[in-house]
Amino acid sequence: MIPIQNTTAPHWSTELAQAIKSPAELMPLLGLSEQTLPPAAQAMTSFKMLVPRPFVARMEYGNANDPLLRQVLADDIEMLPSAGYSKDPLEEGNHNPQKAIVHKYERRILVITTGTCAVNCRYCFRRHFPYGDNQLAQKEWDSVIDYLTQHPEVNEVILSGGDPLMLKDSQLGPHIEKLNALPQLKRLRIHSRLPIVIPNRINHELLEWINNSRLDIILVLHSNHANEIDQAVAEKVALLKQAGVTVLNQGVLLKGVNDSVEAQVDLSERLFSAGILPYYMFTFDPIEGGAHFDLSVSFAQRLMGQVAEKLPGYLMPKLAKEIPGQPAKTVLAPTLSR
């Protein structure tokens, strides 16, 4: 049964249209002076700033180092040259057999549905991805179906982006119907940060096409800090679970955001309370512009070793690294202190 929609809630597209687009707009909402912040004009030209207001509402008033703010605030430090960081750290360009398809792993393909997101995360490993060349027009979805037909070994499609939930449900619904019709497919995975930054994205229309799909649906959310998960997120996750969706989370280990034992423990605990299972915690992908978020692999392993001492196994995300050319993600063992 599809839950009754709360008609008083603003539509997600309205909240998206009202997203913050500059530090000048954001700072007064947080009681911060723009003058105390680093210059950001060049960084904003390279990668625009975009932050929905429901996400801003979870930032701590007056805290210039708020972990949510750090993830979205443009900073000209991004423009400093950084040896060893590249525009395509995962070499996805080498696995892009046709427009909008990334085929790295044998039995699943990733479809770049759109280049846009509801939030621009400064550390994003796809911040330089050539989305313009990979934008999938409505009618080009047929080429994805053709590709799948030619690759019967593929049993899972991952909708990614950008953020696939930026597409309207009136666009997504027909695409999912075409995927439903391919007997080889078992699962549909959706990678999205939208329900975190605008929980109202989980609405009646979305639940309708989910309920109509024969595929097992896995929603992999992206959140990095416990403060991102509030009651509104938890309520929407409950609706997804009622519809049979498996809800997981993947995060990225980021300097100044979640690089402490307490932050990691709190994130896993809060996710579980909201009905979300921690899945992956990725080490940083060396993307040009994001070097100030980077932490060494050995630091990550030591940190997660200490986290493992505090959490039950089912709340421990797998610490992982994507190494270009590898046939699967590389899972890194936490370093235990004794």
Site residues, ligand SF4 (CB under 6 A): 117, 119-121, 124, 126, 161-163, 193, 222
- What separation in angstroms does the CA of 273 have from each of 190, 220, 288? 21, 16, 35
Q: How far is the CB of 338 from ligand SF4 (least distance, A)?
A: 36
User: How much is the CA Rg of the chain, to the nearest whole Å?
Assistant: 20
Angle between helices 261-273 and 297-308 (to 10 degrees): 60
Give the CA distances from residue 76 to residues 26, 39, 187, in Å, rounded to whole numbers and listed in that order: 17, 6, 41
Provide the minimum distance between the beta carbon of 195 and ligand SF4 in the complex, in angstroms, as a whole number: 11
316 is in an annotated binding site: no
69 marked as binding residue: no
Nearer to ligand SF4, 189 or 193 (CB): 193
Nearer to ligand SF4, 119 or 185 (CB): 119
User: How far, in Å, CA of 52 to CA of 36, rounded?
Assistant: 22
State in angstroms the smallest separation of the CB of 308 from ligand SF4. Answer: 26
Of 159, 139, 249, nearest in space to 210 by CA: 159
* Number of residues assigned to the chain: 338
- Minimum separation from the CB atom of position 12 to ligand SF4 (A): 14
Query: Is 102 within any annotated ligand binding site?
Result: no
Let me know the angle formed at the C-alpha of 248 by 4 and 183, rounded to the nearest 5 degrees.
80
For ligand SF4, the closer CB: 286 or 305:
286
Q: Compare residues 161 and 317 and give the one whose CB is closer to ligand SF4.
A: 161
Check: CB of residue 226 under 8 Å from CB of residue 272. Answer: no
Give whichever of 289 and 334 is closer to ligand SF4, judged by the CB atom: 289
The secondary structure of 154-208 as a DSSP string is --EEEEESS-GGGS-HHHHHHHHHHHHT-TT--EEEEEESHHHH-GGGS-HHHHH
Do the Cβ atoms of 221 and 196 come closer than 8 Å? yes
Query: Please, what is the minimum distance in Å from the beta carbon of residue 103 to ligand SF4?
Result: 19
Nearer to ligand SF4, 92 or 213 (CB): 92
> At closest approach, how far in Å is the CB of 334 from ligand SF4?
24
Residue ranges for the binding site? 117, 121, 124
Residue ranges for the binding site for [4Fe-4S] cluster? 117, 121, 124
